[in-house]
Every structure is written in structure tokens, then in C-alpha cells.
Amino acid sequence: MTAATHAPIVVLGTGFGALSTVRALRAGGCTDPITMIGPRAELHYLPGTIWIPSGLRTRADLVVPLGNFFQRMNVQHHQASVTGLSDDGRVVHTTAGDVANHALVIASGARFIRKLPGIEHAVVPCEGIDAAERVRDRLRAMDGGTIAIGFGANPHEPSAVRGGPMFEFLFGIERQLRREGRREQFKLVFFNPSPKPGIRLGEKTVAQLLARMQRQGIETHLGHKMLRFEADKVVTEGGEFAADLILFMPGLTGPAWLEHSALPRSPGGMVAADAQCRVAGFERVYVVGDSGSFPGPDWMPKQAHMADLQAEAAAHNLLAELAGGRGERGFKVELVCIIDAIDQGTLVYRTEQQQIVLPPNRLMHWAKRSFERRYLRHYQ
């Protein structure tokens, strides 16, 4: 037996895809040592950040220490950031030294494309809990004004966009201001370079969301390429408008450390994978979640649910490969989300066979909260 076979399975990241990979490996009977590499031994439940501005959630509600999970799963945590790969993926370079592996699963997430001039004037809510708290604090300090909310895309990767949370911040803030009796002091403007924002959610969903904006007095600025942000305005090819607070979600691309690896990349800068989550040309190297680019429809979502499905496929196929075979399990392409607005939610469900969108209702809001509780129990 060579020394390499004693090296652990290494999972890059400590987010949804990474944690689901570990659970699936252990559920599949894997007894090999597993090392997770990430800068913190915590899960930050980012879907819940939409409720921070209203006070429905706090930092303490959304940060889950992973010590108990690591112990239950017999996982070693290497606290560091990844800086690159070498030796055909068998060595991971990190800020705390090199880590050898016998098999590698990349689940280190994506990064935002911050190339738009003046983007420092915008808050990017899904950057983390800190950003959501800045939104909360800014709203509390404002007596009125214009709030601009929008999102961009990666022009080279149709699926590398996360627009759903921005609809939630939009409708959540609108609802919050009404509950506080302050709605009349604020103008809300939703902007997007596409005339049909959120089209990956389906035509019916877009139509319903735009109709809802109109009913709630939310102005729209659609179909114009964004040029820049300034401290007090949004500037597009179709004109500009004033903004006292800008919330913006850029498109996604792959993690920066990919520049220091030989992994194949998609045109949009993600790790190129096949339908089984394998990285072509690399033995026992898989990718799941936001880091990867996968074959499938251009509406394939970048969301935790999709990462979980990919993690199950990758773990199954990796275990087959470690046993001397070749796993061929793929993953279902499925978009499931509840666009929440503090006390009511809109269910959106899409597969290659069907599209379902339900009107906003209280049941879906409570379903989203219930799912959060159940999901976090796995890691507490």
C-alpha cells in the first residue's frame, strides 16, 4: 500500500455542499479519515439573512458551531483558506500549510464579480451576516429616501446568478416599512439589466413578481446594462436614478484559488464538471455547489438545495471509485425556493418537466422557517 492511500479524503469548504458531502460519505459507509478545510468551524446559514433587517433573525440564530458535527462525523477541521492545488489535485495548498489527500471534493463556494465601477457604494447582502446587519442598521438610521435593489449576472455562465434573495430583500423591506408605518417616506426601485429579471425562476414567476411590484408601488428600471454606482445614484445605459441605499447582488464566478491550479474551468470561471460531478482529467476529484459548472439547463440554480443534491451524487460516485469501480449517479436538476417577505412566502418549484408558482401566503412563510429548524439540527 502506498503512502498516498493513507491520506484523507479532503473536502474544501464548510458550507452546505461540503457538509452534505461529509454526511453522504458517512451514510454510504465511508470509514476513511476526512479533513474539511475552511477558515472557520461554523456554518453560517445565509438563507436566513433575509430576516436580519426586520429583526426576525439575529447573528446568534444563524451561526452554528460545527464542533459537535465534526466529532460525530469523525472529521478533522483544517482551519485555513485554500490558496491552490498541485500534483493533479493530490495536494491542497492553504494559508496554514499543505494538505495531502487521496480523494478531493471541492465545495468552497463561489465569489462575487466585483468589477462594476463604484460597487463599493453598494451593500452585497449575501456576502454574509455582516452585510445583512449593515442593511438593518442603515434602514434604522434612515428617515426616508430611495432604496435601490437589484442583481447582476455572469455573462459567460447563465446559472451563476443568485437573484432569489434579492427579491426577498425587496419584498421583505417593503413589508417591514409598512409594518413600521414608514412606507410613504420611502421610494423602492428594483433594477436589473434584463427586461425579465429572474427568468430562471420561470415565465409565470417573473410575471407574478413584476405584477406584485406594481401593486406595492415599487418602481422598476429594467433592460438596461449597468454602468456604475455612485454614492447617491445608480447609472445605467438607459439613464440614472438617485439612491440613498443600494443593495446589489453581482454575478458569481469561481474561487480565486482556481488561478493557482490546473483544474479545467468553464467560460464563466467555475470548475468544469460532468453530470456525475467529476472533474475531467483528474482522478478522484469532484466538485459540488457554487464552485462548479455542470451540464444541464441554463436555469439550473445556485442554491443550497442544488448543492445538497450534487453532494449526494458526488459522494456516491467517489465511494464507488475508491472501491475500484466507477459511479454513474447523476443529480436531479430542481429549483425549489420560497420567496419570503417577513410573514408570507411565494413557493417556486421548477424541474425540466414542470413549473409551479403559488401566490404569497402565510403557510409558505412558516414552511420556510420550519425547514430552517430541521436543516440546522443536522449540524447542532
Q: Is the pLDDT of residue 121 over 70?
A: yes
Q: Is the pLDDT of residue 94 over 90?
A: yes
Spatial contact of 298 and 277, defined as CB atoms under 8 Å apart:
no
For position 2, what pLDDT does the model report? 31
Above pLDDT 70, what percent of the chain?
Answer: 98
pLDDT in tens, 9-38: 999 999 999 999 999 999 999 999 999 999
| Bigger pLDDT: 1 vs 22 | 22
pLDDT in tens, 215-236: 999 999 999 999 999 999 999 9
**Whole-angstrom Cα distance, residue 120 to residue 193?**
19
Q: Is the pLDDT of residue 128 over 60?
A: yes
pLDDT in tens, 60-88: 999 999 999 999 999 999 999 999 999 99
SS (H, E, C) 270-306: CEEECCCCEECCCCCEEECHHHEECCCCCCCCCCHHH
Q: Is the dihedral of CA 305, 46, 13, 69 positive or negative?
A: negative
**Whole-angstrom Cα distance, residue 342 to residue 365?**
7
What residue has cell string 463561489? 110
Mean pLDDT computed over 145-164: 92
Q: Map out the domains of the chain with their CATH numbers.
A: 3-110+254-322 (3.50.50.60), 116-250 (3.50.50.60)
pLDDT in tens, 310-353: 999 999 999 999 999 999 999 999 999 999 999 999 999 999 99
What DSSP designation does 144 have? Answer: S
Q: Is the pLDDT of residue 181 over 90?
A: yes
pLDDT in tens, 315-325: 999 999 999 99
CA–CA distances in Å: residue 308 to residues 10, 77, 186, 300, 335: 17, 20, 39, 13, 12
CA–CA distances in Å: residue 297 to residues 11, 157, 280, 317, 368: 27, 11, 20, 22, 26
- What is the band of 4 on the pLDDT scale with cuts at 50, 70, 90? very low
Q: Is the pLDDT of residue 1 over 70?
A: no
Both ends of the chain: CA-CA distance in Å? 37
Mean pLDDT of the chain: 95
Q: What is the pTM of this model?
A: 0.94
**Whole-angstrom Cα distance, residue 355 to residue 335?**
9
**Whole-angstrom Cα distance, residue 118 to residue 120?**
5
State the DSSP H helix or E strand holding residue 346, giving kind and residue range, or none if neither: strand 345-350
Phi-psi region of 53 (alpha: psi -120 to 50; beta: other; left: phi over 0): alpha
83-119: burial string, b at 16+ Cβ within 10 Å, e else: bbbeeebbbbbbeeeebebbbbbbbbbbbbbeebebb
Give 325-338 as a DSSP string.
S---------EEEE
pLDDT in tens, 281-299: 999 999 999 999 999 998 9
